[in-house]
Amino acid sequence: MSEKEKFPKKIVSLTPSLTEILFALKLDQRLVGVTDSCDYPTDVKDKPHVGCWFDPDIEKLFALKPDIVLGLQTAHNQIKPQLESERIRVVLVNPLTVNETITDIARLGELMSVREIALNLVTKLRSRLSAVDDRVSAIGRENKLTISRILEVEDGRFYVAGPLSFQYDIISRAGGLNVTDSIPEAYPKITLAQLREWDPQVVFNCGFDLNSLPGIANKPEWRSLSAVQSGNIYSFDCNLTCRTGPRIVDMVELLFNTLYGD
């Protein structure tokens, strides 16, 4: 193995989640490129951009001469051969749970030769999750709330978090019972009638106000939802809900506290 492979000195991150991990591992000095969506922590604004996270500008990326590029299997597998043809190492992740996210942090720490920093971070994250687990256990299954996580509304239908998504796992870790248990997909598309049939006690999303959506909010099926009737419709910061980085634990804690109180 070459010295470059042992100790990558020039890193390009193609997702906000991975960028957050690199900063948390104190690797920001080695981070030479990020995407337009990488906005946390604020120091990332000074890094060169390689365009959109799901369609990066390859020429801009090549110009940065990275030793390694980090990305997602679901978004960047198609550009991997092109990068590797230029002798650029490519590492792609695909975390589907909170635990897999933490495992990726530890793995990247090993890969970047910052094992102790990663171990310290991972230990703290697992300790916080363990504290949430204890609080969830104290609630008891009979007191858990049913949840629907809406990601997007399109033509009157809802994209929701299904069992094959990390969003689903966040709900489970926070003590919620996801209403999409029976659909073996990551992000199934459902009708308002289906949502009404499930009748979740809590509905949450990010980035927009569900209660003001034209063509949805005025429908009897929406207004009669238990979550709507009880005022349990929440909108969270997309940077917390949609990223598999260190702050995924923040989201688990926030959701638990929202559901069951501090």
pLDDT tens digits for range 177-227: 999 999 999 999 999 999 999 999 999 999 888 888 888 888 999 999 999
- Between these two residues, 234 and 217, which has the higher pLDDT value? 234
Residue 245 in contact with residue 21, Cβ under 8 Å?
Answer: yes
CATH of residue 32's domain is: 3.40.50.1980
User: Is 142 found in the same domain as 241?
Assistant: yes
pTM for this predicted structure? 0.94
78 domain residue, yes or no:
yes
- By CB atoms closer than 10 A (0-12, 13-18, 19+), residue 167 is buried
User: Is 88 found in the same domain as 24?
Assistant: yes
User: Does 146 have pLDDT greater than 90?
Assistant: yes
Q: Give the other-Cβ count within 10 Å of 234's Cβ.
A: 16
99 domain residue, yes or no:
no
Task: Please say which residue of 94, 123, 147 terminates a domain.
Answer: 94
User: Is 146 found in the same domain as 229?
Assistant: yes
At 91-114, the pLDDT tens digits run: 999 999 999 999 999 999 999 999
* Residue 69 tokens, joined: 């590029």
Q: How far apart are the first and last CA of the chain?
A: 50
User: Is 164 found in the same domain as 86?
Assistant: no
At 22-60, the pLDDT tens digits run: 999 999 999 999 999 999 999 999 999 999 999 999 999
Work out how many domains the chain is built from and give that number: 2
Q: Give the other-Cβ count within 10 Å of 129's Cβ.
A: 18
105 domain residue, yes or no:
no
The beta-strand segments (E) located in 67-220 are 68-72, 89-93, 146-154, 157-160, 177-178, 189-190, 202-206
User: Does 3 have pLDDT greater than 60?
Assistant: no
User: Does 1 have pLDDT greater than 50?
Assistant: no
Give the range of the structural domain holding residue 188, as residue numbers without chain letter. 138-260
User: Is 154 found in the same domain as 89?
Assistant: no
Using the structure block, give the residue that is written with the tokens 């809406």: 150
* Residues above pLDDT 90, as percent of the chain: 91
